[in-house]
Chain A
Amino acid sequence: MTLWFLRGLRRGVVTTWYPARPDSSAASLPTPPVFRADVLDRATADRLVEVCPSRALRRESDTLIFDLGACTACGRCQDAAPEAATPSGEFELAATSRAHLVKRIPLLREARS
């Protein structure tokens, strides 16, 4: 046991204060999307709702509702409509209320040509 004690001392502390040091691998992690309201029309929104496997997206009339708490950052919406959905680069989802994780994105009234 003494050896293990010394081994522990020798290895030292490896944990860090958060977020004192940026994680170098964070940049390559998948992150939830952000949606561009200026290019989102009903047809694009319906396409996004269709491909979302975790049902984080739904459309209510002229609004796309995005539940960030249900998003698994699978990237399928970004593949399906890269002009409308881009990686946010943000995977920290702290919120004081569950409702704060649900985003409402107004859609264009007219279809984009």
Chain B
Amino acid sequence: MTAVQPGPAGSLASLLGAVSGASFAEAGNAVTVRIPVAQLETAVHHLATTGARLADLFAAGQDPAVLHLVWALDAQQQYLIVQADVTGDEYPPLSDIAPAAFAEECEIYEQFGIRPATGKPLNRVALPPHAGPDFPRLGHRPGQAPAEIHAPHTVGGHAFEFPFGPVRQVGMESLYYGLVTSGEEIVDLYLFTWHKHRGLEWRLRGRTPRDALFHVERTEGLSAIAMSWAFTAAVEAALGVDPPSAAQRTRAVALELERLYNHAAATAALCQATGLSIGQSAAEIALERLLRLNAAVFGHRYLFGVMETGGVRRAPDAAELRGQLPAAQSELCRAADALLATNSFLDRLEACGIVTTEQARRLGLVGPVARAAGVSIDTRLDQPAPPYFQHPPAVAARTSGDVLARFGVMHDEAAESVRLIGDLLDAGAGAGTANVPSTGGSGLGWAESSRGEALAWVALGADGRISRARLRPASVRNWRGFDDACRSQNVFTDVPIIEASFWLTVAGTAR
């Protein structure tokens, strides 16, 4: 598949001009446009060629199912949602034009039974193979089971598949790698990510946003703040609620603490993957300090229970944070600086697991993985919402796209997080919630997790309960770049290094 080349930024006006029958549906924090399904290819081609970034694709409702394409117009600091009713079993093929849509086309087929009209094979991505007729789905069961991407154990010639997982050592999540190899070099890599599927989007239906938040926090435990911020922002957009400014700053403080401990954990994992046990211990000391700091400041090591619809439940202990953060950060900084001066460590990172700029764009990658490959997207800056208008972050970026570039981005971001936390505390961070009515509506929310852009879309019924919630953590996006990174002239022992540098979760994608 060939991606279309991005051009100047797309806009709502030009889309409405290019597509016949399009109608402006509603405004809010994202513009929604409804188009006839027959015009979908034209719209996707227009947006993809005018620089818009396909951030998500999902379906909602039944008979007809409604496709939702979430486009990020980064240059215009705006999200655009394109909706189209699909009355039959098929809709125009979108991933032929925007390859980033393929994984979602597969997921929509599993959950709603509708598929692109080309008849191309769709892979199993979310639901396990034992999902029978009674397995809970968001829509209709597909007519035929999705295709297995499992490669035969003997691929051909001297290549064979080396199965790895889904049960892995220590705390690693359930994930199956099919490593196709001729002995040392990785020829191909398949991922099975459905072992942890929990049907979270299905479970959220019928719940109030407050009840749902408990589950949303657990979508991807290492992004509890980012995912719950995206979700609460979507609910607030749907209901027209503005959280208090001090609460918005508290959310941003918690988000930066989450980024800090994730980057420390990724640094420790990189050391473990390269066999540098003292470096690993040094990074883990920093990680433990940061987790204890979270507990002291917000009452939970992984920052659960901070967020609330309409605001936050807890205010940070500012004195504790100001007192302990510099020591925890300098612990991490010392470890990272020593690693950057260790040639045997850098040799393993340099030119390893390369993601090119073209691949990052084509696959719609986000976060440090994209920024290290020269695609400098950060929703805190590109899609700013309070409190980032007053507190914009400096975005770290690299161009080489290898593990070293990703490590460099994370190292820079950790320092920037500490600066940002200081700014936010100076401006005043507190607890508090706005009044949240129990009415209907729909809205989009987002937050920049340590892995990149996290998105949520919520539709509420007239009774204020959720009729459809879409959760799209950054891991959903970035796993699709992992196999490409592993194929780029790497050997077996590079895989753990690349995995640590991506620092993704399986829970995020098998939600």
Contacts and interface: CB of A to CB of B under 8 A. Distances in A.
Nearest to B271: A4
Contact of A28 (B211, B276, B281, B296): B296
Interface in A66-83: 74-75
Interface in B275-300: 276, 278-279, 281-282, 285, 292, 295-296, 299-300
A22 interface: no
A22 B282 CA distance: 22
B299 A1 contact: no
Nearest to B313: A75
Contacts of A54: 214
Given A53-B211, A74-B305, A75-B305, A28 B278 contact: no
B282 A7 contact: yes
Contact of A29 (B215, B281, B299, B338): B299
B283 to A, nearest CB: 12
A25 B295 contact: yes
B288 to A, nearest CB: 8
Contacts, number: 42
Contacts of A14: 285
Interface in A14-35: 14, 23-26, 28-30
A74 B214 contact: yes
Chain A interface SS verdict (over half): loop
A98 interface: no
B282 A28 contact: no
Interface size class of B (residues with CB under 8 A): 20 to 34
Given A28-B299, A53-B214, A74-B214, A11 B292 contact: no
B300 A8 contact: no
B249 to A, nearest CB: 21
A73 to B, nearest CB: 9
B215 A53 contact: yes
A8 B299 contact: no
A28 B301 CA distance: 10
A84 B295 CA distance: 26
A25 B296 contact: yes
A35 B379 CA distance: 44
B233 to A, nearest CB: 21
Contacts of B214: 53-54, 74
A14 B278 CA distance: 12
A5 B278 contact: yes
A23 B285 contact: no
Contacts of A25: 292, 295-296
Given A5-B278, A11-B282, A26-B295, 6 more contacts: A3-B342, A4-B278, A7-B278, A7-B282, A11-B285, A30-B300
Interface of A: 1, 3-5, 7-8, 11, 14, 23-26, 28-30, 53-54, 74-75
